[in-house]
Amino acid sequence: MSLSLPPSSLSRRSALLGALGVGVGAMVPILSATDAHAYSTTVTANYPVLREGSSGVAVRIVQGITRAAVDGQFGPGTKSAVITFQRNRGLVADGIVGAATWGALLNTVRSGDNNNIVRGVQARLYITVDGAFGPATYSAVVSYQRNNGLTADGIVGPNTWARMVGASSGSTGSTGPVGTSPRKLYTNGRLPSSALASVGFGVWRLSTYCVNDFKAMNAAFKATFGTNLPISSGSSSAYRTYDEQVYFWNLYLSGQGNLAARPGTSNHGWGLAVDIGVAPYGSTKYNWLNANAGRWGFNDDVSGEPWHWAYQR
């Protein structure tokens, strides 16, 4: 039996194949003509970099568009789908979704469109993923736009995409340091509570000089991995009082603790360092920090301590 139907008769063809017991999904091309347009890397420069190990809503978008299973976890199946996509587009086929791949993945979509990019919207909004931008998708997009202070026009363009992927705001989202460095104002380990601020979660505090940059870094991390930065347990993993420094110094001297700074000299005592559980070197989360933390002024400045990140502005 011949199936020489024109491409426009997709629904009829689908019904026919369905009646024949043939998988309908397989008939939808991996790349449709309307996928061909794309955004420049100027648009996607602040989008989160996703790779195997990443999780969260931005991963769902990638999975919807590349037709990987949609579960928000960037596993081997998603990586394989991304590599296939990159090969088809002539991109570096590394399985990592950076600015260039985001640009190739996305385009503006609206009512009446039917393609893989619409699948990304639907996966992100947790509605039926079928690629058809009909009334249900329009309604979900308008709701999302209203809830996020965006123009509620039902069109998914650069502004809506930026919010959906969790792009950092501004060039890097960095505020730069705020006020005067605590090194110039206070004694190490003896910062007044007015000079300290919560990192935004947990028990940890940092200097007000750097805490906004830390929060921006955490927001970008969360957009990529779906969780806050895994600061090491114990309140002294960020700001560390003088007495706490003495405690760690004594542990170090007795051979029971990690290398510790001489009391009164630790970056932690200025509220300018934070220990983050991303060890060992080469782990997915370490690599993300290593590639990105400098955008917010943080660097791992102690050799052999992949968890120690200090503010250097």
Instruction: List interacting residues with Zn ion (CB under 5 A).
Output: 275, 308
- 133 vs 204, which CB is nearer to Zn ion? 204
- 59 vs 261, which CB is nearer to Zn ion? 261
Let me know: does 153 contact 138? Beta carbons within 8 Å.
no
- Smallest distance from the beta carbon of 83 to Zn ion, in angstroms? 37
- 124 vs 308, which CB is nearer to Zn ion? 308
- 119 vs 308, which CB is nearer to Zn ion? 308
- Smallest distance from the beta carbon of 273 to Zn ion, in angstroms? 5
Identify the CA nearest to 168 among candidates 71, 48, 60, 65: 48
- 81 vs 293, which CB is nearer to Zn ion? 293
- Smallest distance from the beta carbon of 302 to Zn ion, in angstroms? 7
Position closest to Zn ion via CB: 308
- Smallest distance from the beta carbon of 212 to Zn ion, in angstroms? 20
Structure tokens that stand for 231 in this block: 């600061």
- 213 vs 300, which CB is nearer to Zn ion? 300
